[in-house]
């Protein structure tokens, strides 16, 4: 509703302030309760979700978006190793403390910023009965959190993972798959072979249990696949990547883009994927080809994302062994002793020959970019401003980087 959008925008800072105050008081009563990473952030997240859910309940009895946010947050807490009793205890303490802070008689002596935030939050809640609203929030939050933890437990069951891994390995190697029928899994006639490469976005924060850190990304990937595809996705993955077999029906380009985006966000990984359709009988050969293309994206320094064969057909053909490849690659050999020129060339092509963007990316003056491009032309005999030379330069760079 427009009213809800406007009110949420004006009180978002107050909600954050109030949530931090609730979190501080919860942690002060049980400072060792949340012992995994992001303890303060997780506590604030619980408090914030409660407040925003309460406002959503007041505005409308239907609030599926807020419940989905709660479930996603709870799935992350489960993957981080926070036990459900810890979360539920924190939730109940937070609601109790929140009610105390909202009570007019209990705010005397608090800092002014908290007083202002409490007044704003109370204004957002309107005339709703505090006890009734608290019970509804607790019921909704408890149900959503429990559902998320149950789903996480189901997807994390070693037996289920073993079955899926074994079946995926059988399909990838062309071995017998009769075990699928014994476990109630239907083998499709066609799959989307998804070759994946994972890379951590950020280094491990200090004080983090490395065992949790090692398990979490892969567990997050499995949980997201289970959430989206239930029992139809067959992953064969390690911490560095691997292959996932997805049902071809219903998995279009937009779905793939959404999947990779969500995997990157939930697992905190940089994800590169190559997707190829394959008949079930041809999965082994398709998997080999998909990973060959995935390696090509790495060698050429292509950004993370989803690639189909159509996206890599030219690069693939240009990197086939033979005299043509050697000849193309040799065109840029004069730049081997000038790495700054090669970097400039790559950046300029990536910026679609826009001098200003190239200069901004490299933090150089446009005159310096012009000078370097002229040096490239003198050394290689290829002028990037000529259409025919540009085609050779692009092709030669692919061949050179793949060497």
Measured distance CA(31)–CA(338) in Å, rounded: 57
Instruction: Please calculate the CA angle 276-278-280 and round it to the nearest 5 degrees.
Output: 145
CATH number of the domain that residue 305 is part of: 3.30.70.270
The predicted pLDDT at position 38 comes to 41
The pTM for the full model equals 0.55
What's the pLDDT at 53?
64
- Total domain count, the chain: 3
Verify that 306 and 342 share a domain, yes or no. Answer: no
Q: Are residues 282 and 269 part of one domain?
A: yes
Contacts of 351 (CB under 8 A, 6+ apart): 357, 358, 361
Given 103, 133, 155, the domain boundary residue is 155
Q: Is residue 243 domain-shared with residue 261, that is, in the same domain? A: yes
- Same-domain check for residues 181 and 135: no
Residues 246 and 386 grouped into a single domain: no
Under-50 pLDDT residues of the chain: 1-10, 31-41, 105-106, 158
- What is the reported pLDDT for 129? 67
- What strands, in cross-sheet order, belong to the sheet with 190-200? 234-238, 241-247, 190-200, 269-279, 305-307
- Given 123, 155, 187, the domain boundary residue is 155
Residues 222 and 361 in one domain: no
Query: In this predicted structure, what is the pLDDT of residue 36?
Result: 36
What pLDDT score was predicted for residue 276?
A: 95
Domain check: are 136 and 164 in the same one?
Answer: no
At 170-219, the pLDDT tens digits run: 888 888 777 666 666 778 789 999 999 998 766 655 555 555 555 678 88
Is-contact 266 76, C-beta < 8 A? yes
Domain that holds residue 24: 2-155
| 311 and 370 assigned to the same domain | no
Cα distances from 65 to residues 29, 49, 221, in angstroms, run: 31, 11, 22
Q: Are residues 338 and 281 in the same domain?
A: no
pLDDT at 161: 64
> What count of other Cβ atoms lies within 10 Å of the Cβ of residue 302?
16
Q: Are residues 167 and 314 in the same domain?
A: yes
Sign (positive/negative) of CA torsion 227, 228, 231, 234? negative
Residue 150 sits in the same domain as residue 223: no
pLDDT per position as a tens digit, 354-383: 999 999 999 999 999 999 999 999 999 989
Query: Do 327 and 294 share a domain, yes or no?
Result: no
Q: Which neighbouring-strand residues pair with 236? A: 243
Choose one of 318, 352, 384: the last residue of a domain: 318
Residue 362 belongs to domain with CATH number:
1.10.10.2840
> Judging by beta carbons within 10 Å of its beta carbon (0-12, 13-18, 19+), is residue 391 exposed, middle or buried?
exposed
């Amino acid at each position: 509703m427009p009213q809800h959008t406007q009110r949420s925008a004006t009180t978002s800072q107050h909600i954050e302030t109030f949530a931090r105050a609730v979190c501080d008081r919860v942690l002060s009563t049980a400072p060792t309760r949340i012992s995994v990473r992001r303890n303060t952030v997780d506590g604030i997240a619980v408090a914030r979700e409660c407040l925003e859910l309460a406002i959503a309940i007041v505005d409308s009895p239907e609030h599926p978006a807020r419940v989905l946010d709660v479930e996603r947050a709870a799935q992350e807490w489960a993957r981080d190793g926070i036990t459900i009793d810890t979360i539920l205890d924190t939730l109940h303490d937070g609601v109790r403390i929140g009610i105390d802070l909202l009570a007019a008689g209990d705010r005397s002596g608090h800092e002014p910023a908290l007083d202002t935030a409490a007044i704003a939050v109370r204004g957002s809640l309107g005339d709703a009965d505090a006890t009734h609203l608290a019970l509804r929030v607790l019921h909704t939050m408890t149900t959503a959190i429990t559902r998320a933890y149950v789903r996480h437990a189901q997807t994390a069951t070693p037996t289920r993972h073993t079955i899926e891994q074994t079946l995926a390995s059988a399909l990838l190697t062309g071995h017998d798959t009769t075990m699928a029928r014994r476990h109630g899994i239907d083998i499709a006639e066609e799959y989307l072979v998804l070759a994946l490469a994972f890379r951590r976005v950020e280094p491990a924060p200090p004080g983090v249990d490395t065992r949790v850190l090692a398990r979490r990304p892969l567990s997050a990937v499995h949980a997201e696949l289970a959430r989206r595809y239930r029992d139809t996705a067959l992953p064969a993955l390690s911490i560095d990547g691997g292959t996932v077999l997805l049902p071809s029906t219903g998995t279009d380009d937009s779905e793939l883009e959404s999947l990779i985006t969500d995997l990157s966000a939930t697992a905190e990984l940089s994800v590169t994927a190559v997707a190829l359709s394959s008949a079930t009988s041809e999965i082994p050969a398709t998997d080999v080809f998909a990973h060959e293309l995935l390696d090509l994206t790495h060698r050429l320094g292509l950004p993370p994302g989803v690639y189909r064969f159509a996206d890599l057909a030219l690069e693939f053909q240009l990197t086939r062994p033979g005299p043509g490849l050697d000849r193309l690659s040799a065109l840029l050999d004069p730049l081997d002793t000038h790495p700054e020129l090669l970097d400039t060339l790559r950046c300029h092509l990536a910026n679609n020959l826009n001098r200003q963007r190239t200069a901004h990316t490299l933090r150089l003056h446009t005159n310096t970019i012009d000078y370097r491009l002229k040096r490239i032309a003198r050394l290689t005999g290829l002028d990037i401003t000529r259409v025919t030379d540009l085609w050779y330069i692009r092709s030669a760079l692919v061949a050179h980087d793949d060497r």
